[in-house]
């Protein structure tokens, strides 16, 4: 059945949990039929897409989780040596007994999903047109181990601010792509880097979608993609980041030195995954591709460690659906391996552009980030027009603190209109 033939009652019932978390999705539902034009320009090589995971794949995942071999867990702090055994068993039990992928899938399909042919790739993306007379296009990019699901809660506040106490005149048109090798985008034949992805994004926004200018937003690898868009994207007019990593840039001030020292500490304590995924991602992928439980534990541990939690409890911030939606995108598409290639690809291009970014830039500093370069660094390397020290929140900002995230993006958008 095509998504445009689903009744509102059916879809809202199927995705009730996500709808409650994301806010009103009626405007997004009504936008599904808007597939032929973008910004007054006909879309090029873009086709509607519906998420429809084969039942055989879902059955395979569930059977492997149920029959999984569990490791011995050492005594001591539950998360000291990696993913807590108790927490992982709780999440696995929830997955096989309560989590409903079909309901979550239906809720994801309420948004207009598309695929665009860009160079040799089919890029999956969500595209929701904003209200008002002149919504600003914005492309928002996830990182690893994230996915497009990170941004679902902020779509309606950004595209229809009038539903959230704001003005329709401040609306954005939101584009949320999946990086090649992640989720429902096609897979690269070899590791790619953030600079290459930025080139694809600029082509998609300007050539496929017909936008003469747009804003870019990102965290994690999405921030580095956004920096390359700010440096080289022909259509990019401004940059919003919720992650700032200055590795590779000159260390000048005492604040820079402190950030670099912090990076070294975090790398030694938390960076084993970086070294493995940068050097031997294929060896890791054999295990993770064969074990849905292993891939889930690998991702879950990062979502817990990198988030700003109360008393270290992941369920103080997230619902189990939040975590499982993200994990399941990797599992249903069998993309754990190709997603991890981003780290190997990083060696083929600088992590950040060597020259300062001259486009207007806003940075939201969420305190739960393990590493974050200081404002003084940002002032030297960007045309910094907005810096926000957030009261709470961590690495997965749009998912953890959707209101703070959306409000900051909205405030930046207003600056660009003046």
Q: Which residues are catalytic?
A: 220, 343, 395
For 416, the 3-state DSSP assignment is: helix
Rounded Cα–Cα distance for residues 294 and 308 (Å): 24
Evaluated on CA atoms 18, 309, 272, 60, the torsion sign reads negative
Rounded Cα–Cα distance for residues 110 and 317 (Å): 24
Rounded Cα–Cα distance for residues 150 and 104 (Å): 14
Residue 247 backbone phi and psi in degrees, to 5: -60, 130
* CA 40 to chain CA centroid, nearest Å: 27
Residue 417 backbone phi and psi in degrees, to 5: -85, -20
Q: Are strands 113-118 and 121-128 parallel, antiparallel or unpaired?
A: antiparallel
Contact between 267 and 259 (Cβ < 8 Å) = no
Rounded Cα–Cα distance for residues 121 and 177 (Å): 12
Surface-to-core class of residue 138, CB atoms within 10 Å of its CB (0-12 exposed, 13-18 middle, 19+ buried): buried
Question: Helices marked H in 136-280 — which ranges?
Answer: 155-159, 194-203, 221-232, 254-270, 272-279
Question: In Å, how far are 60, 220, 406 from 280, measured between CA atoms?
Answer: 27, 21, 37
Question: Helices marked H in 84-140 — which ranges?
Answer: 85-97, 101-108
């Amino acid at each position: 059945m095509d998504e445009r033939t689903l009744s509102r009652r059916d879809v809202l019932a199927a995705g009730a949990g996500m709808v409650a978390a994301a806010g009103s999705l009626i405007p997004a539902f009504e936008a599904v039929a808007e597939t032929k034009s973008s910004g007054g320009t006909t879309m090029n090589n873009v086709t509607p897409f519906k998420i429809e995971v084969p039942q055989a794949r879902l059955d395979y995942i569930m059977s492997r989780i149920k029959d999984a071999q569990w490791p011995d867990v050492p005594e001591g702090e539950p998360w000291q040596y990696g993913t807590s055994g108790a927490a992982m068993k709780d999440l696995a039990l929830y997955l096989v007994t309560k989590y409903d992928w079909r309901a979550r899938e239906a809720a994801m399909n309420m948004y207009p999903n598309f695929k665009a042919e860009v160079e040799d790739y089919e890029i999956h993306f969500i595209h929701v047109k904003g209200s008002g007379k002149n919504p600003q296009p914005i492309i928002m990019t996830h990182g690893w181990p994230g996915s497009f699901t990170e941004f679902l809660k902020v779509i309606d506040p950004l595209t229809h601010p009038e539903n959230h106490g704001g003005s329709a005149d401040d609306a954005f048109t939101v584009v949320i792509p999946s990086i090649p090798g992640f989720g429902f985008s096609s897979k690269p034949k070899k590791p790619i880097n953030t600079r290459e992805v930025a080139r694809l994004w600029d082509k998609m926004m300007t050539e496929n979608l017909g936008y003469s200018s747009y804003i870019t937003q990102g965290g994690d690898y999405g921030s580095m993609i956004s920096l390359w868009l700010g440096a080289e994207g022909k259509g990019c007019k401004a940059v919003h980041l919720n992650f700032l990593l200055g590795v590779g840039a000159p260390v000048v001030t005492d604040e820079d030195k402190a950030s670099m020292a912090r990076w070294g500490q975090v790398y030694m304590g938390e960076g084993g995954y970086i070294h493995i995924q940068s050097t031997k991602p294929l060896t890791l992928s054999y295990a993770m591709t064969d074990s849905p439980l292993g891939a889930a534990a690998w991702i879950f541990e990062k979502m817990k460690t990198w988030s700003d939690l109360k008393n270290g409890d992941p369920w103080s911030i997230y619902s189990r659906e939040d975590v499982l939606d993200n994990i399941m995108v990797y599992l249903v598409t069998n993309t754990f391996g190709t997603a991890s290639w981003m780290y190997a690809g990083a060696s083929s291009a600088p992590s950040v552009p060597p020259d300062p970014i001259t486009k207007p830039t806003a940075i939201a500093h969420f305190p739960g980030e393990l590493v974050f370069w200081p404002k003084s660094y940002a002032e030297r390397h960007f045309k910094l027009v907005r810096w926000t020290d957030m009261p709470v929140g961590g690495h997965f900002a749009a998912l953890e603190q959707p209101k703070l995230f959306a409000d900051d993006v909205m405030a930046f958008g207003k600056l660009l209109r003046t």
